[in-house]
Chain A
Amino acid sequence: MKPDSKKPVPEKKAWKSLEELREDPARREGKADEFPEWSASRRDFLKLMGFGLGTVAMTACTRSPVHKAIPFLQKPEELTPGVANWYATTCAGCSAGCGLLVKSRDGRPIKVEGNPESPLNQGGVCALGQASLLSLYDGARLKAPRWEGNPIAWDALDEKVRVALASAAAEGRKAVLLTGTISGPSTLALIEEFLKKFPGSSHVAYDPVSAKAIREANRRSFGAAVLPTYRFDLAERIVGIQADFLGSWLSPVEFTRQYVSRRKLKLGVEPSRHVQIESDFSLTGSNADLRLPIAPDQTAWATLALLEAVQALAGGAALPDFPKQGLPLEKIQAVAKDLWAHRGKSLVVSGSNEPVVQAAVNAINALLDNIGKTVDLDGVSRQKLGDEAALAELVAAMRRGEVAALLIEGVNPAYDNPLAGEFREALKKVPLSLSFSPAPDETAALVRAQAPGLHFLEAWNDAEPRAGLFHLTQPLIAPLFDNRGFQDGLLRWLGLGQDFYRYLQAHWEKTLYPRQTKFLSFREFWNHSLHDGVFRLPGSDPQAKALVENPVEIARAALADPRLRAAGAEALQMQVYESVALREGAAANNPWLQELPDPVTKVTWGNVLKIAPAEAARRGWKDGDVVRVETERGNLELPVFLQPGMPAKTLGAALGYGRTAAGKVGKGVGADAYPMLGYADGYFRYAIPGVRLAATGRAQRVATTQTHGSMEGRAIVRQTNFDEYKKNPRAGNEDRPKLISLWPAWKEGAHSWGMAIDLNACTGCSGCLIGCQVENNVPVVGAEEVWRRREMGWIRIDRYYVGDAENPETLHQPMMCQHCGNAPCETVCPVLATVHSSDGLNQQVYNRCVGTRYCANNCPYKVRRFNWFDYADNPEFDFNLNDQVAKLALNPDITVRSRGVMEKCSMCIQRIQEGKLQAKNEGRALKDSEIQMACQQSCPGKAIVFGDLNDPNSEISKLLKDERYYAVLEELNVRPAVGYLTKVRNKE
């Protein structure tokens, strides 16, 4: 077809290019050829036909490629090709030390799950723990020892270190072992020996996000400098003050499990009531029944206000007057009354690293009779034992040239603390600096010797996350590279000729075996402990403890502290926090975690500056505008993110980003907030006063997975309050449509799978997202593609806000393919690539899919994800699937999808098939809850239930009859197999 050139050109026309606008003659000529007519001659036609026939004929002659089958020469007894083995071990993703079960296929670990035997996490595991698998296969890992940047043999390195240590000891200079929290008794015993052998040496441990103030306050209040264990499961009233205990604080999986066990509705039991007083909008705050936003400098005063109110109820002496302006006093007093009414069954926790704030919290808990009940000072936590003052002293000693040797394990002191700048300078004065880091980091880049250690899935170790609770760590795979565990290094330098495995075993035989009575031989005890991954010493019941410090004295101490003085309502402040995905930042090179949306902001790939929308509007800023944060300690540039619920003059920024040496994925993502942190009087401080903001005029794309937070008036997440629920269990869930259908009901097969998600038990922690990603080979797409809304996650957690933007209520809703009975996607697929199975699942057949995307268009839940590109072996997507080592983490039972194919939640069909097969092979019927979805398994709160609707006694069938059960957009009559249980808050 030729365009008609005689047609008049309209005055105002749309233009596609500058040439067109200028009416470039060259372009006009080209235009005539835009649709050239193609006239094929008979000969051309025959030629093409012949070519086509020839190609087909030749294809038919090709031979399939030759595949080799290479069996073992000597098969290990426990290993059958294609059959997975599971081993118990201990997570080292953070210092919480959760028990793990790791799936190993043909000798390589491919999935991390929680160990149900561990009393801490009881089967659940967080996003960070599950993603730690990929850190094992990180192609960027350090692969061999190096001395001053050059490769060196281990023996030669050992010799150099031995000489350096010996000469340091002879000269009376210090040798220091710098670590994070180490709770493992065997490693601690080894360090003890090491220190004895080298006089003048010392062990310094610190935590980037410190809990030192809690221990110090407990020393002052109760005479014991310990970190207590908390019992959220026994608390009917919970107050969190600046503590993100569901997301990142101390032991989030354990706390989530406990918290949720009190939030799930049981017959006749009131769920706990949770009040969160905080500056940042945290995951924990998003779950609270009442959230009181305060500025960071109000933390001490808000805590004192609560103490004052409780003290008044207890009839104690009045506190001296303290600044109360701007505090929600009435609400705090109401909270105090509620706590008082639940004495002994309440819990107040604070994440502040101010000892005086923690002392006030201790006083509140003591007055409320919680000590020995919900606060256990006997079975203490050993999850954070670091002391940042020791790090500061070390840096000073390094600067004075007193440190001859510095051995660094498990921390990244050149990055992960506010003293990093001083540390980097001081490190130049240390003759022998050595890093055990298994992956590149800022510290390993500066040290003289790199002695790369092992990933925990390659290593033997133990942990004692709580006094008397021991976890064993066993290797799932031989070291992938020429690396060596740091304990093995110490053993070598000590001149002990054994490896750490023997040392560990000997230590257990010496110290733990005699303390048990169950097993008659050590062998039996060891095998049993190794199998379970857990060994517990019988503990005694926690005891109440008398408060040493008087609340009045605490208030006086707070008033006397110049740093606690309120900065005034107009001053800008910043609260720096650990993100749920990256926490302290060690796993920054993990693409799964980088692409994991923050549970509240839904931001991926980097940190942002959270700011109240009103404040941003006042300054004329919108999402993505890059601003400079100016503080006393330095400047930071971050894109602005408008976060409802932030206090008016408070900013929030996450730690763990802005790594400068981490590998290709993590390097330079986001900005580093550590230098902003304060260090004074022996404590890291995470609240930053005196912040100024300056616009830079630049803007940055912020890759969020959810840009729309409204339900548009539809009851997608249903919620009610407990008092309503007591009156009517159907409260909030009244309008369930009556469904009629023109079609006969779907004929059910042997099973009819269904899922129910208890919105009371889901905190939004996002562990399920990583669980699904690992299990189903879901690719990472990168910030740019996330920004284009092309992320591939099969499960997402929708976050909705209800109420005013100043302090909204937040709702979390996991959303995946709803496996509709009348699936709208199935009817529009022209090639039958998505069809219904006999057991009620909506199946996606990749081989049939031609990528019309009609199905995604027709899906009311928007859960179908399209492969816009090949994400595997594609240098454009230089993440784990473009890394030969990282590809070892792929699940071999699952297809890696290619470009142009639609995909979505398959309801872990491979797990269903595996479960059915196992039952069949054992000649029995399937048991209820025998098959677990990946998301369900990892859930710390056990919010997800999956099962067979055909079995009237299954848990899922019972939940379907629950008054709270509903399906999203039920009125569309698509009959989803996935349903939800109304969220019941417990507001006053």
Chain B
Amino acid sequence: MREHDPKPKAGPVAKLAAVLLLIGLATLVAWLVRAGMKVGVNQGYSPDQPIAFSHKIHVGDNKIDCRYCHFGAEQGRHAGIPPANVCLNCHNKIKKDSPEIQKIAKAVAENKPIEWVKVHNLPDFVYFNHSQHVNAGVDCRSCHGPVETMGRMRQDQPLTMGWCIDCHRQQGIAPPPGHGQAAAAEFLSEKMPKAFVGGMDCAKCHY
């Protein structure tokens, strides 16, 4: 088609500027989208705690089982923060004079509960239960990261729905170690496809 009113041609500098501007805009948009997807995702969150408790010392160095303190993990939805009496089971003997440990003793003496800052916050409106994962043999570290190296607790994984679903897509449901006798044998004998047990149903977690 013939151009009736040809415009003056742009110089190479202007062309370059336009391309750069476009690239810049595209980058901005991409960055915004990425940032937008991370709204409410607190991966790496590692707040200060009222007591400088170190998982590295307890889990890494002294090899204490997670479930000694987080005994709720096998029983119900909350793994739970250990009550002060659990801390004092050991610490009424060990390192009694540490100022951090004295904070615990003081809390008990004053009957004032310790207000820990919650690190792992799931999104709203989702039901999660620790026991069904722990009892199925899921390693605590798959969701909580290398806790044994953390001086101060840190959220290692994104804890988004996509992250939950990714795992459920990959993992079959295996019989939990130490279980699977008699009645369980039939039901849990082989690795069942995850769709079969409904691991992807919305209402498994949202109700």
For the complex formed, measure the closest distance between the CB of B173 and the CB atoms of chain A, giving whole angstroms.
Answer: 9
For A893, list chain B residues within 8 Å (CB): 127, 207
Q: Does A83 touch B at the CB level, under 8 Å? A: yes
Q: Flag whether B206 is at the interface (Cβ < 8 A).
A: yes
Q: Are A62 and B118 in contact (CB under 8 A)?
A: no
Scan A910-954; emit 1 where CB is below 8 A from any B CB, else 0: 100100010011011100000000000000000000000000000
A750-B197, A910-B207 known; A71 vs B132 contact (CB < 8 Å): no
**A residues near B176, Cβ cutoff 8 Å:** 920, 923
Task: Pick the contact of B180: A837, A838, A923 (CB < 8 A).
Answer: A923
Q: Within A742-766, which residues are at the interface with B (CB < 8 Å)?
A: 749-751
Report the nearest A residue to B29, measured CB to CB: A53
Contact A843 B203 (CB under 8 A): yes
- Cα distance A68–B48 when bound, in Å? 12
In chain A between 76 and 97, which residues have their CB closer than 8 angstroms to a CB of chain B?
A: 80-83
Residue among A59, A844, A894, A923 with max Cβ neighbours from chain B (10 Å): A923
A14 at the interface (CB under 8 A from B): no
- Report how many A-B pairs have Cβ atoms within 8 Å: 162
Q: Does A895 contact B (CB under 8 A)?
A: yes
Sorting the interface of chain B by its residue count into under 10, 10 to 19, 20 to 34 or 35 or more gives 35 or more
Q: Write out the residue numbers on chain B whose beta carbons fall within 8 Å of the beta carbon of A71.
A: 80-84, 113-114, 116
Q: A74 to B108, alpha carbons, bound, how many Å?
A: 8
Residues of A within 8 A of B198 (CB): 749-751, 837-839
Is B136 interfacial (CB 8 A cutoff)? yes
**A269 within 8 A of partner (CB):** no
* Contact residues of A: prevailing secondary structure: loop
Known: A67-B118, A749-B197. A924 touches B32 (CB 8 A): no
B180 touching A917 by the CB < 8 A rule?
no
Within 8 A of A (CB), among B124-142: 125, 127, 129, 131-132, 135-136
User: Is A73's CB within 8 Å of the partner chain B?
Assistant: yes
> Nearest Cβ in chain A — how far from B45, in angstroms?
8
Most buried by A among B40, B47, B192, B202: B202
Task: Given A750-B198, A845-B203, verify A924-B183 contact (CB < 8 Å).
Answer: yes
B50 to chain A, nearest CB (A): 10
Contact digits for B164-190, partner A, Cβ 8 Å, 1 yes 0 no:
000000000001100111111011100
The reply to whether B132 and A925 contact each other, CB–CB distance below 8 Å, is no
Number of interface residues of A (CB under 8 A): 49
**Is A75 part of the contact surface with B, judged by Cβ < 8 Å?**
yes
Whether B115 and A73, one on each chain, are in contact in the complex, defined by CB atoms closer than 8 angstroms, is no
Q: Which A-chain residue is minimally distant from B37 (CB atoms)?
A: A60
B85-A835 in contact (CB<8A): no
Residues in chain A near residue B182, CB distance under 8 A: 924
Closest to B110 in A: A73
Q: Is A18 on the interface with B (CB-CB < 8 A)?
A: no
- Which residues does chain A contribute within 8 Å of B196, judged by CB atoms? 749-750, 838
Take A59-B36, A59-B39, A72-B113 as given contacts and tell me if A846 and B206 are in contact as well, using a CB distance cutoff of 8 Å: yes
Q: Does A66 contact B (CB under 8 A)?
A: yes
Given B40, B76, B114, which contacts A82 in the complex, CB threshold below 8 Å? B76
B132 touches A917 (CB 8 A): yes
Within the assembled complex, what's the spacing in Å between the Cα atoms of A848 and B161?
A: 13
Shortest C-beta distance, B131 to chain A (Å), equals: 6
Known contacts A843-B203, A894-B207; is-contact A921 B132 (Cβ 8 Å): yes
B95 in the interface (beta carbon within 8 A): no
- Most chain B CB within 10 A, of A906, A910, A925, is at A925
CA distance A59 to B83 in the complex (A): 36
**A62-B108 contact in complex given A73-B85, A847-B125, C-beta closer than 8 Å:** no
Task: Determine whether the beta carbon of A845 is less than 8 Å from that of B206.
Answer: yes
> How long is the Cα–Cα vector from A67 to B179 in the complex, in angstroms?
36
For A53, list chain B residues within 8 Å (CB). Answer: 28, 32
Query: How distant is B32 from chain A, measured CB to nearest CB, in Å?
Result: 6
Question: Is B72 on the interface with A (CB-CB < 8 A)?
Answer: yes
6 pairs, A vs B, C-beta closer than 8 Å: A67-B121, A835-B202, A838-B197, A917-B131, A917-B132, A920-B136
Residues of chain A having any CB pair with chain B under 8 Å: 53, 56-57, 59-60, 62-64, 66-75, 80-83, 749-751, 835, 837-839, 841, 843-848, 893-895, 906, 909-910, 913, 917, 920-921, 923-925
Known: A921-B132, A924-B184. 12 other contacts (CB 8 A): A67-B121, A69-B116, A73-B84, A73-B108, A75-B85, A80-B80, A81-B72, A895-B206, A909-B203, A913-B127, A920-B135, A923-B180
B residues sitting closer than 8 Å to A (CB atoms) are: 28, 32, 35-36, 38-40, 42, 45, 47, 72, 75-78, 80-86, 107-108, 111-118, 121, 125, 127, 129, 131-132, 135-136, 175-176, 179-184, 186-188, 192, 195-198, 200-204, 206-207
